[in-house]
Amino acid sequence: MASVKNLKKEINYVLGDILNIVYIWEMTSTGKPTESSEALVGDIYDTFDALMVKVNQKNVENKKAHYKLVKEEFEVAANQFVAKVNELN
């Protein structure tokens, strides 16, 4: 892991980009939010908050292993969100 700062930036940028894609889809397809897109946006925000809490934990015994697990969880979540975006109708 290069740094915690870079991990935070990566989480912020990637999840932010996925949010932008959802908002663009909403405006180009229906012109307004749908139930599925609103649920997806809520899930993205919840995941972001949960990941930031984990990244900012101070009482971790093995920091390297902890950050590795956080990064893996982030990658899985981002891939799931991209799959959900692709399934939007």
Residue 2 scores a pLDDT above 90: no
pLDDT for 13 equals 97
pTM of the predicted model as reported, rounded to 2 decimal places:
0.90
Query: CA-CA distances (angstroms) from residue 33 to 9, 25, 39, 42?
Result: 27, 9, 10, 12
37-82 pLDDT, tens digit each = 999 999 999 999 999 999 999 999 999 999 999 999 999 999 999 9
Residue located via tokens 């959900």: 84
Burial group, residue 71, by CB count within 10 angstroms (0-12, 13-18, 19+): middle
Asked whether 7 and 71 are in contact (CB, 8 A), the reply is yes
Binned at pLDDT 50, 70 and 90, residue 1 comes out as: low
How far apart, in Å, do the first and last CA atoms of the chain sit?
37
Residue 8 scores a pLDDT above 90: yes
